Chains A and B, each alone.
Chain A
Amino acid sequence: METIIKVEDLHKRYDDLEVLKGIDLAIHKKEVISLIGSSGSGKSTLLRSINLLEIPDKGRIYYHDKDILDKSIDIDNYRSHVGMVFQNFNLFNNLNVIKNCLIGQIKVLHKDHKEAMDSAVYYLKKVGMGDFINADVNNLSGGQKQRVAIARALCMEPEVLLFDEPTSALDPEMVDEVLQVIKQLASDGLTMVIVTHEMAFAKDVSDTVCFVSDGKILEKGSAQEFFEHPKEERTKKFLSRFLK
């Protein structure tokens, strides 16, 4: 299987707090990886490091064999291939739904308006937001906002899409609509890395599950193997809290 991104021995510290203590991870084409673990374990920092929203102190991140931490790499170009969906949606408040989906295509990919429009409408329909094209983003519900945010990321046609706790800020009744969209993307064969606390969803959607604990990947395995036969004590303890 072709490797898109490879993380080697990644370290990150904030002042006295060492958040990542040597992470190794490979993201293969069409693979869906879930990162699970308790709060503060470093899983979000790992995800944000992959998109360089955090700059690691040590280690390597390879994108198709190129080290993106090298100064000569055009980070903006790299980021345009690696999409990100945030916990708090981060829709552009000054733009309406369709413009949120257009701006990256026009300003970064330099598509013409017509082409960008077609693709924006296509992805908005895909996430079930086709009726809200001209809506003000401030008038949407949390679930609707997150679906627009996913469409915005998809418009860039990324090779990998990173999800940073995409349902954590949602009211419980809206979680499902977002998870359904992500499941659909998984079955379409999109490569994804998802930080989540939704265990049933992770089990259902993932090819690989990583348990992040104390800045390291403590255990890693296929979804079935991981959830049904965890090896490490800490993994068992963590899972027992969710699966009771």
Chain B
Amino acid sequence: MQKTIRMLVLVALVFFSSLAIKAEEDEFVVGMECNYAPYNWQSQTETAYSVALDGSGYCDGYDVRIAQDIADSLNKKLVIKRIAWDGLQAALDSGEIDAIIAGMTANEDRENGIDFTTPYYDTDMVMIVRKDDELADATSINDFSYKNVVGQISTNYDTVIDQIPNVNHMTPRESYPEMVIALKSHEADGITAEVPVAESIVSANDDLTYVTFAEGQGFDIDNSVSIGLKEGSRGTEEFIAVQEALDNISQETRLEYMTWASENAPSETNEIDGSFIDKVITIAKEYYPIFLYGVYTTLILAIVGTLAGLLIGLLLGTLKAISIDPQDNLFKRVLKKILGLFVNFYVWVIRGTPMMVQAMFVYYGFLRPVLGWGVMSSGLLIISFNTGAYMAEIIRSGIQSIDKGQLEAARSLGMSYKSAMFHIILPQAIRNSFPSIGNEFIVNIKDSSMLNVIGVIELFFETKSVAGSVSLTTETYFIAALIYLFLTTLATWILNYTENKINPNNNLKKV
């Protein structure tokens, strides 16, 4: 028992300490989505300008080339971190990255939390439409009145849609590939985009084109993209150095980079053909490193979450099971009462709210702004404390299922309550609850997917990004389903095997 607990604590500590994130001095760490061609995208093939990503393939694109030039000017090594669009500012705040170079437009909202350089690319806002649609001849945004128009979530492309009179403003989507599907299926009639993005999409999709608007007939919007640096850095040496490096990239070079990026942006949309199974196999072959990285993260979340959750559950479950002893003095009684209430409150809140909501609330409300934690360590903490509440209930009912004669016998030998709990009651409670504890592990393999909301790059997040890149939702999620099923099946086997080892007498097989 002591050994088991010591081991649990050690494992949890090692994992948490290994997550301490700090940008290194001689590195220029840049955050981007790697899913926003031609600015940035992810691929499995190395090119002259691509930068290797931690664990899964390469990142390439216009942003990468600009970032490389700036890193070179700063005499630093360029490191690219793949971070969800919504998590970019968080990563910048926490010091996980030094800069956002992600095709981000400086607007009033963002200026509040990010210091932007001057633009590193400027472009017009256009509309992607179907080639065979009458809208292909549109010249004014007014032509899109009463039409379905969609834009990317949390971007200008979404907010500008309201400038079209009487437009049917669709629910924004996560990525362009998703919107392309909506457009092709006639769900949407137009997608807002910048010229380079539109160029790249149109070149990959023969049946699409884009319309530019005449002077004064288009959107009223600043479309330039800028480099985002940490708030409060304006005027510092770092900011000036980046700005100078950017100024040294000439207009010609920028155009050349964008042309190169538009030509080289992935166009898998047309490449994957054949039956459902053929597509599944092609996607699996092409993107297996991305899936593998997702599996790795998902397993870390599930394993650490379950072990750390078990520790929390042991502590809280024991507190919850403690009854007030008539021999206790007033102080002990009050303390037990307060601890009991605290545990009840904790379990009540955690079990009564979805982990997705907890993740958003704790990450954006506390871990990021106050502690400056990154997404992975935050994700681990959230899943651990979430599991802890369920474990507390499991351990409590485990303790209460133990015959009270066990405690009486231990006390009658002169063992203290603590000692009896630790050596006699808890080991039996854990053994009896093993199936439920194991079940939490299986639940965690699946539920860790919710942490994608704060940008933890686990299996679901990866699936979403692959599905986006290949524009094949069903096929990609079919692969994810198979992987999850494989992981949970494997976990079930291991748990059953262990259960039979530690509980040989405790099954009904003999009956």
* Residues of A in contact with B (beta carbons under 8 Å apart): 51, 53, 55, 71, 75-84, 86, 88, 90-95, 103-104, 107-108, 136, 138-139, 149, 152-153, 156
Contacts and interface: CB of A to CB of B under 8 A. Distances in A.
A238 B365 CA distance: 74
The number of chain B residues touching the other chain, given as a range, is 20 to 34
Contact of A92 (B327, B329, B406, B431): B406
A140 B411 CA distance: 23
B413 A156 contact: yes
B327 A94 contact: no
B420 to A, nearest CB: 9
A107 B409 contact: no
Interface stretch (B63-71, B157-165, B422-430): B422-430
Contacts of B423: 103, 107
A108 B505 contact: no
A76 B414 CA distance: 4
Contacts of B415: 76, 103-104, 107-108
A104 B414 contact: yes
B408 A90 contact: yes
Given A76-B415, A80-B414, A108-B414, 16 more contacts: A51-B412, A55-B327, A79-B411, A82-B412, A84-B412, A86-B405, A86-B409, A90-B403, A91-B409, A92-B410, A94-B431, A103-B413, A103-B415, A136-B505, A149-B409, A153-B412
Contact of B414 (A92, A152, A156): A156
A191 to B, nearest CB: 16
A158 to B, nearest CB: 9
Contacts of A79: 411-414
B414 A138 contact: no
14 contacts: A76-B411, A82-B412, A86-B409, A88-B405, A90-B406, A93-B406, A95-B424, A104-B415, A107-B419, A108-B413, A108-B419, A136-B505, A156-B413, A156-B414
B352 interface: no
Contacts of B431: 94
A41 to B, nearest CB: 21
Nearest to B326: A55
A90 B505 contact: no
Contacts of B253: none
Contacts, number: 74
A84 B411 CA distance: 10
Given A90-B406, A94-B427, A152 B413 contact: yes
Contacts of A156: 413-414
B123 interface: no
A48 B406 CA distance: 15
A76 B412 CA distance: 8
A46 B413 CA distance: 18
Contact of A76 (B326, B408, B409, B416): B416
Contacts of B428: 93-94
A195 to B, nearest CB: 14
Interface string B408-452: 111111111001000110011001000000000000000000000
Contacts of A71: 327, 329
A156 B409 CA distance: 13
Nearest to A137: B505
Given A55-B327, A71-B329, A107-B423, A92 B412 contact: no
A136 B329 CA distance: 39
Contacts of A136: 505
A96 to B, nearest CB: 12
Given A75-B327, A76-B415, A90-B403, A139 B409 contact: no
Given A93-B428, A103-B423, A53 B414 contact: no
Pairs A-B, 5 closest by C-beta atoms: A80-B414, A104-B413, A90-B409, A90-B405, A84-B412
Nearest to A105: B413
Nearest to A81: B414
A111 B410 CA distance: 17
Contacts of B326: 55
Contacts of B412: 51, 53, 79, 82-84, 86, 153
A204 to B, nearest CB: 26
Contacts of A90: 403, 405-406, 408-409
A83 B408 CA distance: 11
Given A55-B326, A55-B327, A139-B505, A86 B416 contact: no
A94 B430 CA distance: 11
A123 B357 CA distance: 60
Q: Which of A81, A86, A90 lies at the interface centre, i.e. has the most chain B CB atoms within 10 A of its CB? A: A90
Contacts of B505: 136, 138-139
Given A93-B428, A136-B505, A53 B327 contact: no
Contacts of B416: 76
Contacts of A149: 409
A156 B327 CA distance: 24
Nearest to A48: B408
Contacts of B329: 71
Interface in B207-240: none
B404 to A, nearest CB: 9
Contacts of A82: 412
Interface in B486-511: 505
Q: Which of A92, A136, A156 lies at the interface centre, i.e. has the most chain B CB atoms within 10 A of its CB? A: A92
Interface string B385-411: 000000000000000000101101111
B238 to A, nearest CB: 60
Contacts of A76: 411, 414-416
B419 A92 contact: no
Interface string B313-329: 00000000000001101
A31 B300 CA distance: 64
A83 B412 CA distance: 6
A153 B431 CA distance: 26
B413 A53 contact: no
B159 to A, nearest CB: 62
Contacts of A86: 405, 408-409, 412
B411 to A, nearest CB: 7
Interface string B465-493: 00000000000000000000000000000
Contact of B413 (A80, A93, A138): A80
Q: Which of B327, B413, B427 lies at the interface centre, i.e. has the most chain A CB atoms within 10 A of its CB? A: B413
A92 B409 contact: yes
B502 to A, nearest CB: 10
A76 B420 CA distance: 11
Contacts of A81: 414
A155 B408 CA distance: 17
Nearest to B429: A94
Contacts of A94: 424, 427-428, 431
